[in-house]
Amino acid sequence: MKIYLDNCCFNRPFDDQSSLTIRLETEAKLDIQEKIRTGHYSLGWSYILDFENNANPFPERKTEIKKWKKLSFSSVEETPEILSAMRDFISNGIKPLDALHLACAIALKCKSFLTVDRGIQKKDGHISMIEIINPIDFAMKQELKT
């Protein structure tokens, strides 16, 4: 299964873990990453992930996240189709960078878009081309299938 993790998802383990929700999202995300390493899931990557990660002010985070690009099945660069999809998502109330992530994930033909951003998650019902899901819900849904 092809999946896409947005930048906030990649950064979740570096967040303050004092909140139960953040700890659970971190554990789910780490489990998903282990399944990427073992080939259970295929990770999609994009130029917008590179852009956001390069702007990360924390060198250790930047280095760790960058390693995941090497484990991705494919990376996508900007195209007119991605920009068009991004504009459509923006018209549905999604922030521009988030809209670019979604457009890239769809261009990569990913089944699921994993994010810890509640704002994007609320848009799941409005976007039919990809499942927008929290890592906890994704992990639980996959466990139910086994």
**Mean pLDDT computed over every residue of the chain:** 94
pLDDT digits over 77-92, tens only?
999 999 999 999 999 8
96: left (phi over 0), alpha (psi -120 to 50) or beta: alpha
The answer to whether 40 and 146 are in contact (CB under 8 A) is no
What are the chain's domains?
2-145 (3.40.50.1010)
- pTM of the predicted model over 0.75: yes
